[in-house]
Amino acid sequence: MTALEQITFNAYHLPQYRNTWKLSHIIETQQFDIPTLFNIFALAKELKKTVNYGNCHYLENIRVVSQFQEASSRTKNSFEMATSFLGALLASSTENALEFSSLVKGESQADNFRMLNQLHPDIIIVRFKNTGDAKLAASVSQIPIINAGDGHGQHPTQAILDVDTIYNELGRLDNLNIGLVGDLRKGRTVRSLAYLMAKFKQNKIFFVSPPSLSVNEDIKDYLNRHHVVYSEHHNLLEVAKDLNVLYMTRIQKERGSEITPNEQVSVSLTEAVKQILPTSAQDCIVMHPLPRGPEISPDFDQDPRAKYWKQVENGLFTRMAELLMISNPEKARYLVDNSKNMVLL
């Protein structure tokens, strides 16, 4: 290895040399290490302050492409608002891209990204219908790709905002009992979140789902390999009182998931929230990636443990942090390092 090759190798492979301020493709949560996550959280906190003061145009010469091949309200608006707050240009935004892009004419996903690369954007944010397409896009794209959700694969930027919310609300990310509830078979947010929470010490994960929608083997393999304690349940009533985090999800009907009538009795998500939370688990925070189904009634929104609307706001700041760490990592680091001395005008 030449000296230059050694430096390059170190920069990518050795933790002590890895630049934990620089992000490139964001594809799946396994790619993140703890220092990088804490940098995102610290930066998000600083950016929240600057948003409140209306002064955070740190990406003025950056051009962002946003392409949503599947429906979205939160992620699309969140990224586009993050782009705007940072003063970057949302150069192209395609909604419903499976209808309004040349994918409908049979253009391959790889060619879609080869084409976008030729137009010299700085960041491409994409939601994919097909699981695995985010990895495929990254394999052909020189431009950083942000996976805004791929089929029933992953939703890494959602999981980052989820973990940021847990940290903000509970002040720690270890020694937690976390209930992941609902459609664990097709829900990508719980998959991404399980990978992230497995990085922190002594967390226990309680998977609660109807039998037909239980968590996939790949997640269980990962948790086994990383010595993370988990258990599987079909009834939330069994575990809710012991939880620090109750993360509810809806049934992914658009991906063919359904609860059969006899399963409904065993899970009873809405009932569990109604029955258990008023009387026990007083310190437990209740989260949901949204949109919600019947599993959490709007009546619960005023309960101080309900954090799902807070999650939406936190997502704006963590996504701003991700955009800044992709396109201007020096500024990102500077903002956090100098946060105490910063004078906001």
* From candidates 52, 73, 280, 282, binder to ligand CP by CB under 6 A: 73
d(CA 183, CA 271): 16
CB of 16 to ligand CP, least distance (A): 35
Give the residue carrying structure tokens 């947010």. 189
Select from 58-66, 137-145, 289-297, 302-310 the region that touches ligand CP (CB under 6 A).
289-297
Select from 22-30, 70-78, 113-121, 168-176 the region that touches ligand CP (CB under 6 A).
70-78
Q: Does 75 bind ligand CP (CB under 6 A)?
A: yes
**Options 49, 74, 234, 241, the catalytic residue:** 74
* From candidates 20, 36, 39, 72, binder to ligand CP by CB under 6 A: 72
**Is there a catalytic annotation at residue 105?**
yes
**Options 129, 155, 185, 204, the catalytic residue:** 155
Interface size with ligand CP, residues (CB under 6 A): 10
Q: Does 96 bind ligand CP (CB under 6 A)?
A: no
Q: Does 290 bind ligand CP (CB under 6 A)?
A: yes
CB of 189 to ligand CP, least distance (A): 6
Q: Does 149 bind ligand CP (CB under 6 A)?
A: yes
**Is there a catalytic annotation at residue 225?**
no
* From candidates 177, 203, 289, 328, binder to ligand CP by CB under 6 A: 289
Among residues 109 and 154, whose Cβ is nearest to ligand CP? 154
Q: What is the 3-state secondary structure (H, E, C) of the chain?
A: CCHHHHHHHHHHHCCCCCCCCCCCCECCHHHCCHHHHHHHHHHHHHHHHHHHHCCCCCCCCCEEEEEECCCCCHHHHHHHHHHHHCCCEEEEEECCHHHHCHHHHCCCHHHHHHHHHCCCCCEEEEEECCCCHHHHHHHHCCCCEEEEEECCCCCHHHHHHHHHHHHHHHCCCCCCEEEEECCCCCCHHHHHHHHHHCCCCCCEEEEECCHHHCCCHHHHHHHHHCCCEEEEECCHHHCHHHCCEEEECCCCHHHCCCCCHHHHHHHCHHHHHHHHCCCCCCCCEEECCCCCCCCCCHHHHHCCCECHHHHHHHHHHHHHHHHHHHHCHHHHHHHHHCCCCCCCC
Among residues 109 and 311, whose Cβ is nearest to ligand CP? 311
CB of 74 to ligand CP, least distance (A): 4
**Is there a catalytic annotation at residue 50?**
no
**Is there a catalytic annotation at residue 127?**
yes
Among residues 179 and 289, whose Cβ is nearest to ligand CP? 289
**Is there a catalytic annotation at residue 36?**
no
Binding site for ligand CP (CB under 6 A): 72-75, 149, 155, 158, 289-291
Q: Which residues are catalytic?
A: 74-75, 105, 127, 155
